[in-house]
Every structure is written in C-alpha cells, then in structure tokens.
Amino acid sequence: MTLGSDIAQTLARVVDRDIRVMHVCGTHEAAIAKYGIRSVLPEQMKIVMGPGCPVCITPQGEIDAAVELAERGCIVCTYGDLLRVPGSKSSLEKVDGDVRIVQGITKAVEIARENPDREVVFISVGFETTVPTVAATLMTAPPENFSVLVSHRLVPPAMEWLMAQGEASLDGFILPGHVCAVMGYHEYEQFKVPQVVAGFEPEDVLLGLLMLAEQIENGEAKVENAYPRVVSREGNVKAQRLMHEVFTPTDVEWRGFPVIPNSGLMLKPEFEQYDAQKKFDLVYEKVTKKAGCICDQVLRGIADPTDCKLFGKVCTPRVPVGPCMVSHEGACRIWHQYNQRR
C-alpha cells in the first residue's frame, strides 16, 4: 500500500460531515486534477479553487492598458500566459504591435538595452512569488527607456475578503506553497480558520487535506505546515526585504472581485520613473464582464468550471472567452485539459 493510499484511507475515517475547503494556487488545482485526487476523497469533502491564478485575476482594464502600450509603439514584454487573455476589444496576441514573450524581467531589461530608441514595458503580473525578482532588477538601475506595468497581487487580503463575504461557505484553506516559500506563513496566523500549507506532489496535497480535516474535526483554527522541506514560518526574509524596499501595498481591483484594500503593490516614489502607468498616463477603465462567462464565480469558489454554459463549447483553450480558460493555472483550462468533473 502506498503512502497516498494510506492518507486517503485515514482521510475517509476522519471526515464524517460535509466539508468545503479552498486552495488559492493554480499549481495545486493542476496537481489535484492531474493526479485524480478528487476521485479518492470522501464524498463529503469538496475542494474548490479560489483566486489562485494571477493571470486570471488581472482585470480587463489592465489588459487593455497593456494593449494600448503596444498600439502606441512600445515593445511590450510579457509572460506567455498573458498573451491570449481577452481585453475588452483585443488581446496582446492579436494587437498590431511589437509584443514579445519573455521568461522574466531580466530578459525585458536586456531588450531595452538592445533597443535604446524604443520604449520597453514589462507587464509584471504575479503574486508575492514573482515580486522579489522584479524588485531586485529595478534596484540595478535599468535604462531610462524601460518601465514596468505593475499588476501584482497579494494573497492574504483576498482571503480576508473571501472570509468576510462568506458566500463560498468555507471550512478551511490549503495555503499556497510557492507563495509561502517566499513570505512564510506567519501573516496567515491572523485568520481564525483552519489552514495548512501544502506542497504539490499528490502525497503533499493529501497530507495537507488530512491535516486540515483533522483541524476541522477537532474544532481548531490554526496554521500548520505540511511542506516543511520548502516552507518555514518566516519565509525568505531577504526576498521580503527586497519587496519592501521597492514596493508598497495599495488598493486594487481583482477580476471577479471589487477593489480589495492593500491587496496590490505599487512602486515607491524613488522608483516611480519605472512606473509605466504614470509614465504613459494610463487609466484603468472598469470593464463589464462578458455575457455568459462565470470566471468571476469560479475565482470566488462559488461555481465549478463545468457550471458554465460556455465551458468546452464556445469557450476552449484555443478560443477562450474568459481568462480562466487561458492560463495553465486557470481552473477552466485545467478542468478542460484533464476532463475534470466536480
């Protein structure tokens, strides 16, 4: 008998009532779907995905701003996942402009140095995991023709919003291993709800779910770490220091959510020369969501991808209607790829 089977059997004995838990990481959803973890869970235990895909929660207004930069003649550098996310009128894939896929900010800076007569903008999306590299790069004094469109988001404020709303009726959270590797898990201790940091192998996920179920069964509400080989309570203090030197929290909108206080990042005044939004006087317009798409509900954990009437029909990875079908961390894309069912 394998370790995973042992954990699944123990989980079946522990869960004796309906339990609804949320994870906030696209890589967790991919692991759960790929390894068929839902198929071995007790019927009373349901896992839903929250706003764990950074591309998916980037509002259309910010996508439109990136498209506008390309239309205005800038070289726009972006991760491949962001290329096909629909804006209100176009996408970075379809815009008539110079859009280049890069692996990170370092390559974008290199492109700026190679093209001193062109403005180069890096579309900087991601949770806390990707921020330190951006911060470290900006501290090296990139060329004047380089700037960043900052679209970073912070996980804890979104979790706080979800708990305050209560619409998803959650009993606990699986915390994101990658984010916690950078930030630690001490900042989650403010939330009086069962929480477990989990890794990404099938045994990691099952162990996290078991520890979470045991907390719920025992009436506990604390943060436990099921991923100690990578995550510590304090996290990567040096990386956090870099973040705080360059960025400061700010109120931002999330796709599918309202403006959440202190859930985003903006550059501090001493780095404003690299702020593309200010440099090009960009305005993020509020955009009405596309009819029929329920990506907003999927991101809030109140609907499954297969609840959407467009799923797998009008909306596919090749022709996506909403961002959850674009990114490899998007719930709809993952469910479509692995033929996942609730």
Kindly compute the dihedral angle of the four CA atoms of residues 112, 100, 284, 130, in this order, to the nearest 10 degrees: -80
Residue 47 or 290, more confident: 47
The per-residue DSSP string of 68-99 comes to HHHHTTPEEEE-GGGTT---SS--TTTSSSEE
Residue 148 has phi, psi (to 5 degrees) of -130, 130
Count CA atoms closer than 13 A to 326's CA, side-chain side: 23
Nearest alpha-carbon partner for 332 in 73, 152, 322: 322
What residues have CB less than 8 Å from 147, skipping those under 6 apart? 119, 120, 121, 122, 273, 274, 275, 276, 279, 280
CA 156 vs CA 233, 243, 261: distances in Å: 15, 16, 11
What was the pLDDT predicted at 68? 97
> Residue 295: pLDDT above 90?
yes
For residue 335, pLDDT over 90 is answered with: yes
Percent of the chain topping pLDDT 90: 90
CB atoms within 10 A of CB 171: 18
Average pLDDT, the chain: 95
User: Identity (one letter) of the amino acid at 120?
Assistant: V
Q: What are phi and psi of 305, to 5 degrees?
A: -55, -40
Sequence-distant (≥ 6) Cβ neighbours of residue 315 within 8 angstroms: 293, 308, 321, 322, 325, 332
Residue where the block lists tokens 């080989």: 229
DSSP letter (8 states) at residue 290: P
> How large a percentage of the chain has pLDDT more than 70?
98
Distance CA 195, CA 14 (A): 17
Measured between alpha carbons, how far apart are the two ends of the chain, in Å?
26
Q: Are 42 and 12 in contact (CB under 8 A)?
A: yes
List pLDDT tens digits, range 236-253: 999 999 999 999 999 999
Please name every residue paired with 173 in a beta bridge, in sequence order, or none if there are none: 22, 195
- Binned at pLDDT 50, 70 and 90, residue 256 comes out as confident
Strand-pair category, 247-253 with 259-267: antiparallel
pTM, rounded to two decimals: 0.94
Token pair belonging to 197: 């940091």
Range with lowest mean pLDDT among 3-12, 14-23, 58-67: 3-12
- pLDDT tens track for 162-173: 999 999 999 999
The two three-digit tokens of residue 60, written as one number: 């259309």
Asked if 278 and 272 touch (Cβ cutoff 8 Å), the reply is: yes
Q: What is the largest CA-CA distance in the chain?
A: 66
For position 202, what pLDDT does the model report?
Answer: 95
pLDDT, tens digit, 9 for 90 and up, residues 117-162: 999 999 999 999 999 999 999 999 999 999 999 999 999 999 999 9
Quote the tokens at residue 207. Answer: 């162990």
Q: What CATH superfamily classification does 3-54+155-175+190-225 receive?
A: HypD, alpha/beta domain 1 (3.40.50.11750)
Q: Where are the alpha helices (DSSP H) in the chain?
A: 3-14, 26-34, 60-71, 105-114, 131-138, 155-165, 177-183, 202-218, 237-246, 276-279, 295-299, 331-338
Token code pair at residue 320? 């996506």
How much is the pLDDT for 86? 86
Domain residue spans of the chain:
3-54+155-175+190-225
